[in-house]
A and B are shown apart, each in its own frame.
Chain A
């Protein structure tokens, strides 16, 4: 091994050691990693040349330069010290952590409620199923909380910042040189939630229909019905209960107005009547006899079972889509807030 090669080998070993210790966010960016190591190497050569006092630096000079550079662990530690400490997380990652918790929480709620709806729809042991659902939600929340906390603590310790996670983040330089010409145009805003008036209308409508379905004196008007509704009345009562539940939520949403957190809570709660709705229609499919015979009297020869099946499938699909839409609203509220609030934020220019 020549003398020059030996010096290069020493530096290569140092580069490898530093590279191993560097935080993950830097290792994931190959260009930045190479540039960082190149810069450290350039520094070592500069230092070694200085130590050699005009002579060609030898291995002793290089070794001394590496020693003065500090240990790879200390160098890496400085790269990890990027975020502002807040509890065990960096303040920069906290908003991401809360958003992730919310998204995971909503997904846990959605999947458990959906599972509950389909299980109740095919079984009669409602109490046990509801109990299992709450257990599932609790377990899901705890698991999600623990897993996300561990992930975000590790990311904070590694010095990750949101810009390392974002795939197409604008570079800071772009932001710095951005200037606004003329008065800013009002952004096109699309409302995340319906207006308070719509909520109020939906709430009153659902409450009215709900109470009507429960307290309607069916027996007094039996002569007006086209078929015998005796077996269907308890089912309609349950549907009324779900509608009242939904109405109360809509009414509450009208009352809380543009309070993001409360709106998110009510949107989350609205998943419960939706899932119960699915369960109720699946139960109807399971016990289709309560509808089949009266409808056969009305439409003799028709394949009533098939029509009921198709109707239930459509209702279930529409309800699931509605639940997904509510979840997307929760997430959009978390990430964007209400459009009106956004308009007050003015971009910084330098």
Chain B
């Protein structure tokens, strides 16, 4: 966010190099994890057909109302890293005479993302009062009390899952 501020009054606090570098560093640290989470969430939305880099950035920009902007050149190292870690896999397809690389979540990636989302949701809920607002998490989603894994309550209702697939906690009883 701070990097996007190109014009400011010279006497403003942002004009101080120390202040600016501190905030930039803070934002960069905070955004690093959130960017990965957001990128994976957008990819999850395209779990059937996959999504290519440019489309992903555009969607991210639209979904976050241009608040979370990943620099174009830095997206691909992130995607490559996630692919190497087995969280994503890719498929090459020819479109308009050009080859595009479509990214999809692996089974492991799906599970990891559920956990990341669960942890982020619970964390945001917990720290929200400190920021002066409150968050109410949706009732139809169950969060594992042991590891904060996000679990779809419908799958519970269908009796598909009895244990948290991240930490192995027996959760069937907790839902009743």
- Interchain Cβ contacts within 8 Å, total number: 68
Residue-wise, chain A 148-173 has the 8 Å CB interface mask toward B (1 for contact) of 00000000000000010000000011
Interface size on A, residues (CB 8 A): 27
- Please tell me if the beta carbons of A74 and B71 are within 8 angstroms of each other in the complex: yes
- Please tell me if the beta carbons of B106 and A176 are within 8 angstroms of each other in the complex: yes
CB distance from A163 to the nearest CB of B (A): 8
Q: Which of A69, A82, A172, A175 contacts B72 (CB 8 A)?
A: A69
Q: Is A297 an interface residue (CB 8 A)?
A: no
Residue-wise, chain A 46-82 has the 8 Å CB interface mask toward B (1 for contact) of 1100100000000000000000111100110011011
Interface size on B, residues (CB 8 A): 26
Residues of B within 8 A of A45 (CB): 98
Residue-wise, chain A 262-284 has the 8 Å CB interface mask toward B (1 for contact) of 00000000000000000000000
Residues of A within 8 A of B85 (CB): 172
CB distance from A70 to the nearest CB of B (A): 4
Q: Is A328 an interface residue (CB 8 A)?
A: no
- Given contacts A172-B85, A172-B86, A173-B89, whether A43 and B54 have CB atoms under 8 Å apart is yes
Residue of A nearest to B85 (CB): A172
Residue of A nearest to B100 (CB): A42
* The stretch of A31-39, A110-118, A134-142, A302-310 that contacts the partner chain: A31-39
Q: Which of B78, B100, B108 contacts A176 (CB 8 A)?
A: B108
- Please tell me if the beta carbons of A46 and B72 are within 8 angstroms of each other in the complex: no
- Given contacts A38-B99, A39-B53, whether A69 and B84 have CB atoms under 8 Å apart is no
Residue-wise, chain B 89-109 has the 8 Å CB interface mask toward A (1 for contact) of 100000000111100001110
- Given contacts A69-B72, A78-B77, whether A175 and B99 have CB atoms under 8 Å apart is no
- Please tell me if the beta carbons of A82 and B81 are within 8 angstroms of each other in the complex: yes
- Please tell me if the beta carbons of A78 and B73 are within 8 angstroms of each other in the complex: yes
Q: Which of A42, A70, A71, A81 contacts B99 (CB 8 A)?
A: A42
Residues of B within 8 A of A35 (CB): 101
Docked CA distance A38–B84 (Å): 18
Residue of B nearest to A18 (CB): B73
Q: Is B76 an interface residue (CB 8 A)?
A: yes
Residue of A nearest to B83 (CB): A172
Q: 16 A-B pairs, CB-CB below 8 angstroms?
A: A38-B99, A42-B52, A42-B53, A42-B99, A42-B100, A43-B54, A46-B55, A47-B54, A69-B73, A70-B73, A74-B71, A75-B74, A81-B77, A175-B86, A176-B106, A176-B108
Q: A40-B76, A42-B99, A176-B86 are in contact. List 6 more A-B contacts (CB 8 A).
A: A39-B101, A43-B53, A69-B73, A70-B74, A79-B77, A173-B86
